[in-house]
Structure 1
Amino acid sequence: MLKLMIADDERMIRESISTLIDWKSLGIELIGTCSDGIEAYNMILDETPDIVLTDIRMPGLSGLDLVSRISQTDLSTQFIILSGFGEFEYAKQAMKYRVHHYLLKPCNEGQIIESMKDVVKEYYHRRAFQDLKDRQKALTDNLHHSVLANVINEGIFLQESSEREWNSYSGFMDFFNTGYEMCYLHYLEEEYLTSVLDQVSFYMKEHAPGITIYSLYVKNTLILFFESHQVSYETFDAFMKSLSLGELPIELQYIRTTFSNLSSLIETLTGKVRRYGMIYFMNGLQPVPICNYKNLIAKIEQLTTSLMQSKSPQADIFLEELKNTLDNINNLDFLKQAGSRMVIKFTTGNRYYSSLEATEYLMSLNEQTDIENLRSMLLEKILHILKRPYENPQSCSTFIEKVMQYVETNLNNPNLTLKWIAENYLFMNVDYVSARFMKETKQKFSNYLTTLRIQKAKQLLTKGNAEQIQMVAEQVGCGNNPQYFSQIFKKHTGMTPTAFIKKMNGGE
Structure 2
Amino acid sequence: MLKLIIADDERMIRESISNIIDWNSLGIELIGSCGDGIEAYNMILDESPDIVLTDIRMPGISGLELVERISQTDMDIQFILLSGFGEFEYAKQAMKYRVHHYLLKPSNEEQIIESIRDVIKEYYHRRAFKDLQNRQKALTFHLHHSVLANIINEGIFMDDSAQPAWDVYSGFMDFCYTSYELCYLHYLEEPLLVSALGLIYEYMSKSAPGIAVYSLYVKNTLILFFESHQVSYEDLDTFMYRLSIEQQPVQLNYHRSTYPNLIQLIEAMTSKIKRYGMIYFMNGLKPVPICNYKNLIEKIEQLTTILMNTDIENRESGYEELENTLHDISNPDFLKQAGSRIIIKLTAGNRYGSSVEATEYLMTLNQQTDPAIIRNMLMEKISKTMADSTETSYSPFIEKVIQYVENNLDNPSLTLKWIAENYLYMNVDYVSARFMKETRQKFSNYLTTQRIQKAKQLLLEGSTEQIQCVAEKVGCGNNPQYFSQIFKKHTGMSPSAYIKQINGGD
1:288 aligns with 2:321: no
For 1:93-144, what per-residue CA distance to the aligned partner results, in whole angstroms no more than 9, with x for missing partners? 9x7897xxxxxxxxxxxxxxxxxxxxxxxxxxx9xx9543565444323211
1:353 aligns with 2:353: yes
1:242 aligns with 2:242: yes
Question: Which residue matches 2:458?
Answer: 425
Alpha carbons of structure 1 residues 429 and 180: separation in structure 2 relative to 1, 3 Å: farther
1:304 aligns with 2:304: yes
User: Could you tell me whether the CA contact under 8 Å between 2:140 and 2:462 is conserved in 1?
Assistant: no
Alpha carbons of structure 1 residues 230 and 132: separation in structure 2 relative to 1, 3 Å: farther
**Which whole-Å CA distance do the structure 2 matches of 1:250 and 1:311 have between them?**
59
User: Could you tell me whether the CA contact under 8 Å between 1:180 and 1:228 is conserved in 2?
Assistant: yes
Q: Secondary structure at the match of 1:289?
A: strand
**Which whole-Å CA distance do the structure 2 matches of 1:275 and 1:169 have between them?**
24
Q: CA deviation at 1:409?
A: 5.2
Matches within 5 A, 1:33-432: 130-133=130-133, 135-159=135-159, 165-246=165-246, 248-391=248-391, 404-408=407-411, 425=458, 427-428=460-461
Give the counterpart letter for 2:375 in structure 1: R
**Which whole-Å CA distance do the structure 1 matches of 2:413 and 2:179 have between them?**
35
Percent identity over the alignment?
Answer: 59
Q: Secondary structure at the match of 1:347?
A: helix
Give the counterpart letter for 2:286 in structure 1: Q
**Which whole-Å CA distance do the structure 2 matches of 1:139 and 1:384 have between them?**
25
Alpha carbons of structure 1 residues 403 and 209: separation in structure 2 relative to 1, 3 Å: farther
Q: CA deviation at 1:246?
A: 3.2
Q: Secondary structure at the match of 1:132?
A: helix
Q: CA deviation at 1:280?
A: 0.6
**Which whole-Å CA distance do the structure 1 matches of 2:230 and 2:196 have between them?**
22
Q: Secondary structure at the match of 1:387?
A: helix
For 1:471-501, what per-residue CA distance to the aligned partner results, in whole angstroms no more than 9, with x for missing partners? xxxx99xxxxxxxxxxxxxxxxxxxxxxxxx
Q: CA deviation at 1:405?
A: 4.2
Give the counterpart letter for 1:359 in structure 2: T
Alpha carbons of structure 1 residues 353 and 273: separation in structure 2 relative to 1, 3 Å: same
**Which whole-Å CA distance do the structure 2 matches of 1:340 and 1:154 have between them?**
12
Alpha carbons of structure 1 residues 361 and 355: separation in structure 2 relative to 1, 3 Å: same
User: Could you tell me whether the CA contact under 8 Å between 1:352 and 1:385 is conserved in 2?
Assistant: yes
Alpha carbons of structure 1 residues 356 and 410: separation in structure 2 relative to 1, 3 Å: farther
**Which whole-Å CA distance do the structure 2 matches of 1:182 and 1:241 have between them?**
15
Q: CA deviation at 1:239?
A: 0.4
Give the counterpart letter for 1:218 in structure 2: V
User: Could you tell me whether the CA contact under 8 Å between 2:155 and 2:163 is conserved in 1?
Assistant: no
Q: Secondary structure at the match of 2:388?
A: coil
Alpha carbons of structure 1 residues 242 and 218: separation in structure 2 relative to 1, 3 Å: same
Q: CA deviation at 1:407?
A: 4.0
Give the counterpart letter for 1:383 in structure 2: S
**Which whole-Å CA distance do the structure 2 matches of 1:294 and 1:163 have between them?**
15
Give the counterpart letter for 1:404 in structure 2: N
Which consecutive unaligned segments of at least 5 residues does structure 2 have? 1-87, 99-125, 415-453, 464-476, 479-506
User: Could you tell me whether the CA contact under 8 Å between 1:154 and 1:160 is conserved in 2?
Assistant: no
User: Could you tell me whether the CA contact under 8 Å between 1:304 and 1:342 is conserved in 2?
Assistant: yes
**Which whole-Å CA distance do the structure 2 matches of 1:401 and 1:275 have between them?**
52
Alpha carbons of structure 1 residues 201 and 176: separation in structure 2 relative to 1, 3 Å: same
**Which whole-Å CA distance do the structure 2 matches of 1:376 and 1:202 have between them?**
39
User: Could you tell me whether the CA contact under 8 Å between 2:216 and 2:224 is conserved in 1?
Assistant: yes
Give the counterpart letter for 1:377 in structure 2: M
User: Could you tell me whether the CA contact under 8 Å between 1:279 and 1:289 is conserved in 2?
Assistant: yes
Give the counterpart letter for 1:317 in structure 2: S
User: Could you tell me whether the CA contact under 8 Å between 2:157 and 2:294 is conserved in 1?
Assistant: yes
Give the counterpart letter for 1:286 in structure 2: K
Alpha carbons of structure 1 residues 291 and 164: separation in structure 2 relative to 1, 3 Å: closer
Give the counterpart letter for 2:276 in structure 1: Y
Q: Secondary structure at the match of 2:211?
A: coil
User: Could you tell me whether the CA contact under 8 Å between 1:184 and 1:255 is conserved in 2?
Assistant: yes
Alpha carbons of structure 1 residues 135 and 161: separation in structure 2 relative to 1, 3 Å: farther
* Count of residue pairs brought into register by the alignment: 310
TM-score (norm 2): 0.54
For 1:24-54, what per-residue CA distance to the aligned partner results, in whole angstroms no more than 9, with x for missing partners? xxxxxxxxxxxxxxxxxxxxxxxxxxxxxxx
Give the counterpart letter for 2:314 in structure 1: Q
For 1:436-487, what per-residue CA distance to the aligned partner results, in whole angstroms no more than 9, with x for missing partners? xxxxxxxxxxxxxxxxxxxxxxxxxxxxxxxxxxxxxxx99xxxxxxxxxxx
User: Could you tell me whether the CA contact under 8 Å between 1:354 and 1:426 is conserved in 2?
Assistant: no
Alpha carbons of structure 1 residues 277 and 137: separation in structure 2 relative to 1, 3 Å: same
**Which whole-Å CA distance do the structure 1 matches of 2:176 and 2:403 have between them?**
20
User: Could you tell me whether the CA contact under 8 Å between 2:146 and 2:340 is conserved in 1?
Assistant: yes
Q: CA deviation at 1:428?
A: 4.2
Alpha carbons of structure 1 residues 293 and 400: separation in structure 2 relative to 1, 3 Å: farther
Cα RMSD, aligned residues only: 3.9
Highest RCO, 1 vs 2 (Cα 8 Å, sep ≥ 6): 1
> Which structure has the larger Rg?
2
**Which whole-Å CA distance do the structure 2 matches of 1:161 and 1:286 have between them?**
32
User: Could you tell me whether the CA contact under 8 Å between 1:157 and 1:274 is conserved in 2?
Assistant: yes
Q: Secondary structure at the match of 1:307?
A: helix
**Which whole-Å CA distance do the structure 2 matches of 1:161 and 1:179 have between them?**
24
For 1:273-302, what per-residue CA distance to the aligned partner results, in whole angstroms no more than 9, with x for missing partners? 011111111111111110111011011101
Q: Secondary structure at the match of 2:157?
A: helix
**Which whole-Å CA distance do the structure 2 matches of 1:162 and 1:428 have between them?**
30
**Which whole-Å CA distance do the structure 2 matches of 1:148 and 1:257 have between them?**
19
Q: Secondary structure at the match of 1:353?
A: coil
Q: CA deviation at 1:426?
A: 7.0
Q: Secondary structure at the match of 1:298?
A: helix
Alpha carbons of structure 1 residues 130 and 235: separation in structure 2 relative to 1, 3 Å: farther
User: Could you tell me whether the CA contact under 8 Å between 1:174 and 1:429 is conserved in 2?
Assistant: no
Q: Secondary structure at the match of 1:181?
A: strand
Q: CA deviation at 1:400?
A: 10
**Which whole-Å CA distance do the structure 1 matches of 2:145 and 2:379 have between them?**
23
Q: CA deviation at 1:313?
A: 1.6
User: Could you tell me whether the CA contact under 8 Å between 2:156 and 2:273 is conserved in 1?
Assistant: yes
